[in-house]
């Protein structure tokens, strides 16, 4: 009798455990799917996973989660996806707060303001990975439609980098940013005052006006603001490419940029709040 | 043509004569009578500012993290903190009337200090008791002594122990608030630590501090530890580590009218004496106190004496002065030259840097000069972007040998980037004066300069001499040569007429109220005066109130 009872009880326990395991599985899948930003489904599933019994069981047997590498992985990836999403939102809010700086008349940019995705490149004219990434970004500019590129000066390699950055803003005021940018980015010489002004003269910049613009407190303040924006975005080296709400750090190629652009485009088709 | 201006000409001549007469009778202060930064000292200042201006994640020129301990005396936190103290000394003693450059650099250094790469070593280091460093593997020391409870370590770098970090942060914030009358760190969360380690699989953690909370956390630990000092590493109290929070609390008291530092100094001194943190027989500072074993580990390290002494001198001047000659006798002769290929041990670079700093603070200018000259000769001094420093040697973490002539070449990043420069800048009682003769409130109402073009001009001297009602400013060319540069003078009295003097030559007079200006000195709508000048060589400017010049006569 006892054996029979135990058997029945055992079957019930087994069924119960089976249901719990299903729920745990659902939990892992749910978290993973949440990470993929499918809010509606995640909400449905989260209703399932708040099932009191599952919760209670997990509280009593946390090792079930800890010891199962698949579940642990799922939870970890869900967590990192959430963190990623939180960082993206935080980045978006910083960019929104600094919209006037990014759209300022002093900010050189290509593409339309209303483009689907914006790339902000923080760079220095003496940074080798920046120079290496230059043709890659040019390629993107040529082939990718509906992309706006903002050239954000972040001079970090000393006085001549600062001088070149000011020069670039001065050139932008004279409508010759792209030419000057190209000259500086492809220059095979060490930057100094001589080379900075020679390149400027070679592309036809009015040197007197350029020098006056380079001293303009507005330009100096603008560069300081750009530096503060880089700080806020946690840019810790050059180059850094803010692509939509994501960031790519260091020298970056066409492939990575395209991948991120596509991700951003897909994302921008999703309902807001995702 | 001349007929048209016939009435004006005598008037101009008359004015000219008046100005000459006035100039002849003026008693203009001589810039040479005020401290100024030499070219090399300015280079050191500039190098430290350049370090401050690096991006938060850029530690180039600052060495590498120790692969075993994850931190060492070369660590970023010490370089950043001592750079701020050095800049504070430069600002206080040479350029008190030039704030914005130093204030920005100080803010940047504090920002760098709270960047996670600087302090997250603690999550690792807090796991271990490092006081018994006998474990070794393949000739390398290794950490084998896990402490009982904290496999994961402590993430918050301030909350407990780790005074080797939090003490410096407190001192930095205190200096900043007092030197620049800038209370930004009073704001809750103004010192926010963000930690998001992927390796722990945890969510991001934020630890919010401000000046008050930081001071309280540290003060409470002093009390809790019965003033024997707060642990730096686990189980190890270093005397020198505890000097920095004491200076931090002194600044805090000054700003907030509290007396937290008074009791701490008194009681800490008692413990120091009782437990012989500085051995009265040898006059040398202990290595550390092992807390659990309650054992003082004695030492004779120049770095320990230099580090502890330069800071303790701020609040215990006579005592430090009294033991300095013994310390000098012990270390100095062998510091510059010794036996060829002698192994000087891991502390060789710190010995040099910290002892030079102590020598500067106690006013042993001869020794400082000898050490700075030695560094200039043997430490491969380098100019980089207007900054002057001694690059760390390639093998600074393991090659401590003298060369075949008996000279030391080992330079670590702390000594090369900061300490030697700090010693050369810091005058006698340099830090003592900052804490014991703080600038009064009136200092912030005096005339001062701003908006000096960092690329083009170095301010080697900027002081307002209240007794002469004169602002004395000396500029020198900086890294980018400029034919013309400018600076702005603020808080001039609009009622007063000021005489503008350049390199001893009277240029004329300016007066805000009557809008009296000069071709190279123009009033702005906000009441400031912009002075423009060519700058191919150093130039001194003096703006002296007319009443004062006459009175001085």
CATH at B502? 2.60.40
Residue B527 lies in a domain: yes
Q: Is B2 left (phi over 0), alpha (psi -120 to 50) or beta?
A: alpha
- Counting the structural domains of chain B, the total is 2
Q: Do residue B7 and residue B147 come from a single domain?
A: no
Q: Do residue B261 and residue B340 come from a single domain?
A: yes
Supply B110's token pair: 């504090």
Domain assignment of residue B7, given as a range = 3-31+446-552
What is residue B504's predicted lDDT score, i.e. its pLDDT? 93
Residue B294 lies in a domain: yes
Q: Do residue B321 and residue B458 come from a single domain?
A: no
Supply B78's token pair: 């010490």
Of B53, B57, B451, nearest to A237 by CB-CB distance is B57
Q: Which chain B residues are Cβ-neighbours of A154 within 8 angstroms?
A: 55
Distances (CA, A) of A183 to A110, A121, A172, A197, A254: 17, 17, 13, 11, 21
| Domain end point (choices B404, B436, B468) | B436
In angstroms, what separates the C-alpha of B57 from chain A's closest C-alpha? 4
The question of ipTM being above 0.90 is answered as: no
User: Which CATH architecture group holds A99-269?
Assistant: 3-Layer(aba) Sandwich (3.40)
The C-alpha atoms of residue B534 and residue B483 are separated, in whole angstroms, by 5
Q: Do residue B413 and residue B279 come from a single domain?
A: yes
Q: Which chain B residues are Cβ-neighbours of A163 within 8 angstroms?
A: 455, 480
Is B280 near chain A, with CB under 8 Å? no
Residue B414 lies in a domain: yes
Q: Do residue B80 and residue B17 come from a single domain?
A: no
Average pLDDT across chain A, whole number: 84
Q: Which residue of B has its CA nearest to A217?
A: B451
Q: Which chain A residues are Cβ-neighbours of B57 within 8 angstroms?
A: 236-237
At A36-77, the pLDDT tens digits run: 444 555 555 556 556 778 888 888 888 888 788 888 888 878
Q: Which residue of B has its CA nearest to A236?
A: B57
Is B50 near chain A, with CB under 8 Å? yes
Of B54, B55, B480, nearest to A159 by CB-CB distance is B480
Q: Do residue B402 and residue B260 come from a single domain?
A: yes
What would the mean pLDDT of A122-142 be, rounded to a whole number? 96
Q: Do residue B275 and residue B333 come from a single domain?
A: yes
What is residue B456's predicted lDDT score, i.e. its pLDDT? 92
Residue B441 lies in a domain: no
**Residue of A21 and B357 predicted with greater confidence:** B357
What is residue A50's predicted lDDT score, i.e. its pLDDT? 64
What is residue B70's predicted lDDT score, i.e. its pLDDT? 66
What is residue A5's predicted lDDT score, i.e. its pLDDT? 41
What is residue A173's predicted lDDT score, i.e. its pLDDT? 97
Distances (CA, A) of B279 to A27, B173, B206, B286, B293: 64, 32, 42, 7, 19
Neighbour count for residue B379 (Cβ, 10 Å): 24
Q: Which residue of A has its CA nearest to B486?
A: A215
Q: Do residue B190 and residue B75 come from a single domain?
A: yes
Residues A84/A90/A92/A95 CA torsion (nearest 10 deg): -130
What is residue B54's predicted lDDT score, i.e. its pLDDT? 95
What is residue B143's predicted lDDT score, i.e. its pLDDT? 47
- Whole-model pTM? 0.86
Supply B189's token pair: 């969360």
| Domain end point (choices B386, B407, B436) | B436
Query: Residue B77 belongs to a domain with what CATH number?
Result: 1.50.10.20
Q: Do residue B398 and residue B547 come from a single domain?
A: no
Residue B509 lies in a domain: yes
Residues of chain A with CATH 3.40.30.10: 99-269
| Contacts across the A-B interface (CB distance below 8 Å) | 46
- Tens of pLDDT, residue by residue, chain B (553 residues): 334 333 333 333 334 434 444 444 568 999 999 999 999 999 999 999 999 999 998 999 999 877 666 678 889 999 999 999 999 999 999 999 999 999 999 999 999 999 999 998 888 888 777 776 544 444 444 444 555 455 556 889 999 899 999 999 999 999 999 999 999 999 999 999 988 766 555 667 889 999 999 999 999 999 999 999 999 988 899 999 999 999 999 999 999 999 999 999 999 999 999 999 999 999 999 999 999 899 999 999 999 999 999 999 999 999 999 999 999 999 998 888 889 989 988 899 999 999 999 999 999 999 999 999 999 999 999 999 999 999 999 888 888 989 989 999 899 999 999 999 999 999 999 999 999 999 989 999 999 999 999 999 999 999 999 999 999 999 999 988 877 899 999 999 999 999 999 999 999 999 999 999 999 999 999 999 999 999 999 999 999 998 755 554 4
In angstroms, what separates the C-alpha of B49 from chain A's closest C-alpha? 11
Contact A159 B453 (CB under 8 A): no
Q: Do residue B27 and residue B38 come from a single domain?
A: no
Q: Which chain B residues are Cβ-neighbours of A124 within 8 angstroms?
A: none
Residues of B114-133 as b/e, b for ≥16 C-beta within 10 angstroms? bbbebbbbbbebbbbbbbee
**Residue of A225 and B198 predicted with greater confidence:** A225
| Domain end point (choices B392, B417, B436) | B436
Q: Do residue B474 and residue B341 come from a single domain?
A: no
Residues 6+ apart with CB under 8 A from B299: B284, B285, B286, B287
Q: Are B412 and B349 contacting, i.e. CB atoms less than 8 angstroms apart?
A: yes
Q: Do residue B260 and residue B370 come from a single domain?
A: yes
The C-alpha atoms of residue A159 and residue B499 are separated, in whole angstroms, by 34
Contact B480 A230 (CB under 8 A): no
**Residue of A198 and A6 predicted with greater confidence:** A198
Provide the pLDDT confidence category of residue A22 given band limits of 50, 70 and 90. Answer: low
What is residue A162's predicted lDDT score, i.e. its pLDDT? 96
């Amino acid at each position: 009798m006892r054996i029979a009872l135990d058997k029945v009880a055992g079957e019930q326990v087994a069924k119960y455990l089976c249901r719990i395991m299903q729920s745990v599985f659902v939990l892992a899948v749910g978290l993973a799917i949440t990470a993929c930003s499918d809010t509606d489904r995640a909400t449905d599933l989260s209703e399932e996973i708040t099932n009191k019994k599952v919760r209670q069981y997990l509280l009593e047997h946390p090792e079930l989660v800890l010891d199962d590498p698949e579940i642990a992985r799922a939870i970890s990836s869900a967590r990192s996806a959430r963190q990623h999403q939180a960082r993206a939102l935080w980045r978006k809010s910083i960019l929104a707060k600094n919209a006037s700086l990014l759209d300022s008349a002093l900010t050189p940019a290509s593409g339309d303001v209303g483009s689907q995705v914006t790339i902000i490149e923080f760079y220095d004219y003496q940074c080798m990975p920046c120079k290496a990434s230059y043709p890659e970004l040019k390629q993107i500019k040529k082939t990718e439609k509906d992309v706006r590129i903002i050239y954000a000066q972040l001079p970090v390699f000393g006085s001549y980098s600062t001088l070149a950055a000011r020069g670039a803003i001065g050139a932008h005021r004279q409508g010759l940013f792209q030419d000057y940018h190209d000259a500086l980015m492809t220059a095979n010489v060490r930057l100094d005052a001589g080379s900075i002004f020679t390149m400027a003269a070679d592309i036809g910049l009015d040197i007197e006006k350029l020098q006056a613009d380079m001293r303009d407190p507005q330009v100096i303040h603008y560069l300081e603001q750009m530096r503060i924006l880089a700080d806020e975005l946690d840019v810790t080296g050059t180059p850094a490419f803010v692509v939509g709400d994501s960031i790519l750090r260091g020298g970056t190629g066409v492939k990575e940029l395209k991948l991120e652009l596509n991700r951003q485009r897909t994302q921008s088709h999703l309902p807001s709040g995702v | 043509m001349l007929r048209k201006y016939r009435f004006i000409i005598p008037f101009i001549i008359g004015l000219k004569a008046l100005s000459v007469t006035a100039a002849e009778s003026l008693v203009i202060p001589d810039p040479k009578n005020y401290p100024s930064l030499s070219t090399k000292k300015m280079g050191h200042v500039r190098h430290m500012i350049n370090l401050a201006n690096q991006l938060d994640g850029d530690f180039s020129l600052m060495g590498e993290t120790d692969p075993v301990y994850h931190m060492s005396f070369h660590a970023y936190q010490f370089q950043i903190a001592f750079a701020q103290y050095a800049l504070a000394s430069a600002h206080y003693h040479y350029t008190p009337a030039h704030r914005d450059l130093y204030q920005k650099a100080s803010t940047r250094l504090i920002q760098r200090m709270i960047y996670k790469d600087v302090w997250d070593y603690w999550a690792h280091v807090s796991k271990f008791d490092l006081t018994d460093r006998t474990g070794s593997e393949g000739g390398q020391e290794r950490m084998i002594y896990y402490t009982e409870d904290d496999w994961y370590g402590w993430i918050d770098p301030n909350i407990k122990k780790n005074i080797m970090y939090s003490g410096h942060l407190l001192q930095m914030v205190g200096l900043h608030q007092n030197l620049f009358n800038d209370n930004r760190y009073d704001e809750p969360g103004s010192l926010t630590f963000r930690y998001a380690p992927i390796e722990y699989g945890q969510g991001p953690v934020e630890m919010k501090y401000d000046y008050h909370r930081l001071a309280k956390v540290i003060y409470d630990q002093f009390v809790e530890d019965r003033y024997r000092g707060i642990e730096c590493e686990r189980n190890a109290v270093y005397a020198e580590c505890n000097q920095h929070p004491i200076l931090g609390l002194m600044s805090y008291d000054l700003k907030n009218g509290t007396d937290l530092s008074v009791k701490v100094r008194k009681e800490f001194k008692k413990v120091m004496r009782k437990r012989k943190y500085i051995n009265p027989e040898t006059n040398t500072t202990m290595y550390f106190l092992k807390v659990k074993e309650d054992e003082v580990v004695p030492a004779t390290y120049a770095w320990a004496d230099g580090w502890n002494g330069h800071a303790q001198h701020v609040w215990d001047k006579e005592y430090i002065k009294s033991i300095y000659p013994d310390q000098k006798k012990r270390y100095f002769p062998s510091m510059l030259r010794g036996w060829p290929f002698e192994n000087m041990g891991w502390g060789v670079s710190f010995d040099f840097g910290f002892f030079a700093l102590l020598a500067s603070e106690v006013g042993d200018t001869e020794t400082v000069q000898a050490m700075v000259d030695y560094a200039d000769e043997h430490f491969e001094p380098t100019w980089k972007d207007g900054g002057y420093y001694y690059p760390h040697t390639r093998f600074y973490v393991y090659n401590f040998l003298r060369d075949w002539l008996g000279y030391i070449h080992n330079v670590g990043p702390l000594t090369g980037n900061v300490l030697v420069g700090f010693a050369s800048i810091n005058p006698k009682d340099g830090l003592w004066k900052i804490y014991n003769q703080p600038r009064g409130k009136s200092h912030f109402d005096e005339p001062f300069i701003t908006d000096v073009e960092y690329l083009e001009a170095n301010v080697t001297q900027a002081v307002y001499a209240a007794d002469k009602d004169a602002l004395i400013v000396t500029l020198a060319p900086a890294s980018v040569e400029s034919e013309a540069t400018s600076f702005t003078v603020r808080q001039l009295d609009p009622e007063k007429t000021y005489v503008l003097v350049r390199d001893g030559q009277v240029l004329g007079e300016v007066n805000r109220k009557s809008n009296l200006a000069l071709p190279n000195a123009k009033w702005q709508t906000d009441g400031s005066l912009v002075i423009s000048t060519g700058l191919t060589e150093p130039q001194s400017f003096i703006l002296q109130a007319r009443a004062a010049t006459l009175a001085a006569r």
